[in-house]
Amino acid sequence: MTITDVDTDHLRTAISVARNARVNGNHPFGATLVDASGLQVLAAENSVVTGRDATGHAETNLVRQATGRFAPSELAEFTLYTSTEPCAMCAGAIYWAGIGRVVYALGEDALGEMTGADPENPTLSLPCREVFARGQREITVDGPVDLPEARAVHAGFWG
Ligand SMILES: Nc1ccnc(=O)[nH]1
């Protein structure tokens, strides 16, 4: 796994976006999109509760904005950073967008331990790598990256 300090900085930003989502009354998930030169071009937070939209995950919200603004050839060079591993739905969205790389902090297994059977987030047990492996184009995945703040943003929220 090749995680640089720059990656860690972008993950910390995604986690602060997740903190915002929580403050705004949504689930604590956030994502950012970074272009080939390392510049952050988009950020999106979960909007499931306030938007009354089950598909309003941080990553789907980001993908929707991203494909409206950037060409597939650009997105292939971009990296999506997310506070928690993309679920199967979001992995599908990332795949269809053609984003080239995904970096996540908290793993889905660790999230599942925190959410348990919470009806607000009955975490899917299907790692994003398994979804991407069924596709026809390569997506580089790096994670989990162990950052205390990635767990802290979920503390006391679920259950
Ligand atoms: N990785 C994620 C899991 C659940 N909800 C989100 O918005 N993001």
* Domain boundaries of the chain, sorted by first residue: 5-153
Q: Which atom of ligand 1 is nearest to the CA of 86?
A: 1
149 is catalytic: no
pLDDT at 1: 56
Is the bond preceding 144 in cis, omega lying within 30 degrees of 0? yes
Contacts of 107 (CB under 8 A, 6+ apart): 84, 85, 127, 143, 144
Ligand 1, residues at Cβ distance < 6 Å: 27, 29, 46, 57-59, 82, 84-87
Average pLDDT over the chain reads: 97
**CA–CA distance, 133 with 94 (Å, rounded to integer):** 13
- Contact by Cβ (8 Å): 61, 44: yes
pLDDT(86) > 60: yes
When pLDDT is averaged across residues 116-122 and rounded to a whole number, the result is: 90
Atom 2 of ligand 1, nearest CA residue: 86
pLDDT digit string, tens, across residues 35-61: 999 999 999 999 999 999 999 999 999
Which architecture characterizes domain 5-153 according to CATH? 3-Layer(aba) Sandwich (3.40)
Q: What's the pLDDT score for residue 110?
A: 95
Q: Are strands 79-84 and 40-45 parallel, antiparallel or unpaired?
A: unpaired
ipTM: 0.96
pLDDT category at 159 given cuts 50, 70, 90 is confident
pLDDT band, residue 134 (cuts 50/70/90): very high
- Predicted confidence at residue 50, as pLDDT, reads 98
pLDDT computed for residue 31 by the predictor: 99
pTM, two decimal places: 0.97
